[in-house]
Amino acid sequence: MSGKRRAAGPAQKKPQRPAKRGSRWRRVLTWLLALGLVGSLLAVGAFVVLYQTIDVPDPNEDFETQTSFVYYNDGKSQIGTYATQNRESIPLDEMPDSIKDAVVAAENRSFWTDQGIDPRGILRAAFSNAQGNETQGASTITQQYVKILYLTQEQTLTRKIKEAIISLKLQRDVSKQEILEGYLNTIYFGRGAYGIQAAAKAYFDVEAKDLDVRQSAVLATVLNNPSGYDPANGKQARRDLQERYGYVLEGMAETGQISAAKADRAARRLPAFPDIEQESQYGGQRGHVLTMVRDELVRLGFDEDEIDGGGLRVTTTFTQKAMTAAQEGVSEVRPTGLPAAIPGEKGSTEPGSGDKDLHVGVASVEPGTGAVRGFYGGQDYLDSQINWAIAGGQAGSTMKPAALVAAIEDGFSLEDTFEGNSPFVLPDGTDFENQGDADYGSAVSMVTATENSINTAFIDMTMSMEDGPQKVVDAAERLGIPPAKAKKKDPGFPNTSPGLEPNTGVALGSATVSPINMANAYATIANGGRAAEPFIIEKVVDRNGETVYQHRVSDTEAVEQDIDRDVSYALQQVVQEGSGTAALALGRPAAGKTGTATNGEGAVSSAWFTGYTPQLSTSVMYVRGKGNEQLQGWLPEYFGGSYPAETWTAVMQRAMEGLPVEDFPPPANVDGDAPETGHEPYTPPPTTQAPPPRPTTKSPPSEEPTTKKPTEEPTTEEPTTEEPTTPTEEPDPCDRVVPPPSCDPEEDPQGGQGGSRDRAAAAAYTPAARERYVV
């Protein structure tokens, strides 16, 4: 039997040789390379897309701002600043090489050669942040500048990518010098200082251009960690500063900016840090000044953004001398130890518990220009934001000069007489009293009425003019008292005087007037009747050095010059012989008026003295609490001739120091056609002389009025036998209320205004009788 025999079981496969290990790794590497290539292409593509789509954004507004500065009238001495951030940008060529080199050595030693980014730093920061470690920056100067100026401070990969792309674009369009300049004007150095100029002042009290190597190395150090490296923050901060300070100096030597020997010498010790007074921006009177200037800038058309971040340079009218005079004058006279309450009021009667309730407002204005040279607004601004030099109070009898102007313009003279007894009763039964209900006689001259602030005489004066109250209001507004209602851009501080209405008692001062406006009104009288608007801003210059506002002084005739001279003469007599004799201590010719006002309960609630020399007008006001609370029984003396007049004198002594003594012109003795009879000057009757002997004294004049003798019609004289007559003595012209200039000037220190006068009431004035006369 033949044929092939088949093997039992399944067929056997041909065995394969195992793959080599090297080929397996090659395949893995190939795949990795392929993936890497694809990833790189994707990354490049993504980068191109991002580069094309990410634009350089608008700068962060806060970092574009610059500090605005407010100066005294010299344009150099700084009062304060307005700022979103405390920054004063300066060009790169005003920065010393030492600060440029120190910052590059500290922050980015490849700055001048790199492309604006640090790829290794970006990757290192990205991996560190991804692993949950402490966030890292590792940015170049360009990247830091971009982050500050265009982005946020968040530490994320997205922000880092944006930062890198914007840095590359910025590097392409902007020079390294421009980047470094922007960086040094933008970066925060601590102590509230943004930019190198503010930092130099904050740490060393110098301009940036005056920084030396060691100071520059310190500032290059602190910008890395402002709070951690500020030596003012304790011993540890100082030690940390010392360590990194050495690193910065070492870097300056390595980059060839300074020698190694110089770096070693500088590293031995830190520079001196001067004691820089860290006053509150708004502490003391500074807050009142800055608030007042800001409000005026807004009124002039500047917006808040310009003020806070526009880099303006604002020159004010204020002088350091006048501002200091106001503050020191108040401190010298202002009483202390006052209770919070007096009998009948709720509150503590403990001495000193009410000192904070006494408010004093002072303002000094220059005649002829209207420039407000100084003021005192009250307590520290941080304790009370009310500026009493602007808030004001009821003006009281400091309004009476307006009535004098109106009356003389209407035909009355200084010698005309008015009712001086109290009360003065109107036809409708309304009555007005003198202070203390005192009587001065039924016919007191305008001068005597002013000297002693006789209310009834001024009511009589007002009512003796047709539409008298309105004429007094008009005169007040022409002098410089703002109206009761005004338009937004009308001048004045403030530009309204609530209550200045044509009522019967307008001359007694029920209107609310500020010391600034009152001082300006009296400055008009001091200036021969020419009024100027009050102002506090002389000039404004923008960040580019262009003058964008310049005040122009313009004055107008408010009062005819001769009338003004007569009004001024009456106010001079207030100081010489009337209720304002405390001002005699000034030691030079002065004029002024006392004033008090009463509240709704009839208690004295404000006390004033406003006065002037030919060179300066100053107003002082004392009020309590909210401005209308009782002074009577609370202050030891509560009339205008006491604390206000004494404060005025203390302020003016300081403000006038070094200025020449100037005299006032003599009165013009204007005498028109009085609008009403019965006010004629008192003329002493001829004294009959029985020869011999000749009398050596004259009879005292009476305050009773006499009627002016009418002009007689010519008549034909019949021959008569002449009877012997007794010689009579004609009245001495120097015995008039207002003596002519020809009278002996030696008798009157005011210059050419001497002679005995109609002063029956003033003769009775003594310090003990002050309350009777001072109104």
pLDDT at 747 over 50: no
Top pLDDT among 562 and 750 is at 562
Residue 750: predicted pLDDT: 36
Q: Is the separation of the CB atoms in 612 and 606 below 8 Å?
A: no
**d(Cα 469, Cα 474) in Å, to the nearest integer?**
9
Report strand pairing: 728-729 vs 687-688: antiparallel
Q: Tell me, what amino acid is at 12?
A: Q
52/70 Cα distance (integer angstroms): 45
**Three-state SS at 375:** strand
b/e burial code for range 621-659 (CB count within 10 A of at least 16 → b) = bbbbbebbbbbbebbebbbbbbbbbbbbbbbbbbbbeee
Q: What is the pLDDT of residues 470-521, one digit of tens each?
A: 999 999 999 999 999 988 778 999 999 999 999 999 999 999 999 999 999 9
pLDDT band for position 234 (cuts 50, 70, 90): confident
Alpha carbon distance 33, 28 (integer Å):
9
How many C-beta neighbours within 10 Å does residue 303 have? Answer: 10
End-to-end CA distance of the chain: 164
What is the Cα–Cα distance from 720 to 699, expressed in whole angstroms?
33
* Least confident segment among 30-39, 61-70, 341-350, 697-706: 697-706
The pLDDT of residue 280 is above 90: no
Paired with 71 in beta bridges are: 78, 315
User: Percent helix, strand, coil in the chain (nearest 5)?
Assistant: 40, 10, 50
Say which residue, 173 or 459, is predicted with more confidence.
459
Q: Which residues of 14-45 are buried (b: 16+ CB within 10 A; e: fewer)?
A: eeeeeeeeeeeeeeeeeeeeeeeeeeeeeeee
In this prediction, residue 279 carries a pLDDT of 59
Distance CA 501, CA 472 (A): 9
* pLDDT tens digit sequence for 427-479: 999 999 998 899 999 999 999 999 999 999 999 999 999 999 999 999 999 99
**How does pLDDT run across 553-599, given as a tens digit for each residue?**
989 999 999 999 999 999 999 999 999 999 999 999 999 999 999 88
- The residue among 107, 103, 94 whose CA lies nearest residue 257 is 103
CB 433 within 8 A of CB 456: yes
Q: How many angstroms separate the CA atoms of 316 and 286, rounded? A: 13
Strand-strand pairing, 512-513 and 188-190: unpaired
Give the integer Cα–Cα distance in Å for 304 and 183: 26
The pLDDT assigned to 712 comes to: 34
Structural element, H or E, at residue 194: strand 193-194
Distance of alpha carbon 456 from alpha carbon 443, whole angstroms = 11
Q: Are strands 444-445 and 417-418 parallel, antiparallel or unpaired?
A: antiparallel
pLDDT confidence bin for 167, thresholds 50/70/90: low
pLDDT at 420 over 60: yes
* HSE of 180, CA atoms in CB hemisphere, 13 A: 23
Model pLDDT, residue 305: 78
Cis peptide before 691 (omega within 30 of 0): no
Is-contact 79 323, C-beta < 8 A?
no
Is residue 537 within 8 A of residue 296, CB to CB? The reply is yes
pLDDT band of 42, cuts 50, 70, 90:
low
Confidence of residue 26 (pLDDT cuts 50, 70, 90): confident
| Ramachandran category for residue 644: left, alpha or beta (phi over 0 → left; psi -120 to 50 → alpha) | alpha
d(CA 135, CA 148): 17
* Cβ(397)–Cβ(561) below 8 Å: no
Give per-residue pLDDT as tens, 66-120.
889 999 999 999 999 987 677 888 999 999 999 999 999 998 888 888 776 666 6
Query: Pairing mode, if any, of strands 591-598 and 512-513?
Result: unpaired
Mean pLDDT of 710-718: 35
pTM of the model: 0.73
Distances in Å between the alpha carbon of 416 and those of 35, 200, 457, 675?
113, 69, 11, 12
What residues are paired with 376 via a beta bridge? 362
What pLDDT does residue 766 have? 35
Specify the pLDDT at position 166: 64
What is the structure's pLDDT at 711? 34
Instruction: Give the percent of the chain with pLDDT over 70.
Output: 74
Q: Is pLDDT of 269 > 90?
A: yes
pLDDT, tens digit (0-9, with 9 covering 90-100), for 178-220? 889 988 988 889 888 889 999 999 999 999 999 999 999 999 9
pLDDT (average), residues 608-637: 96
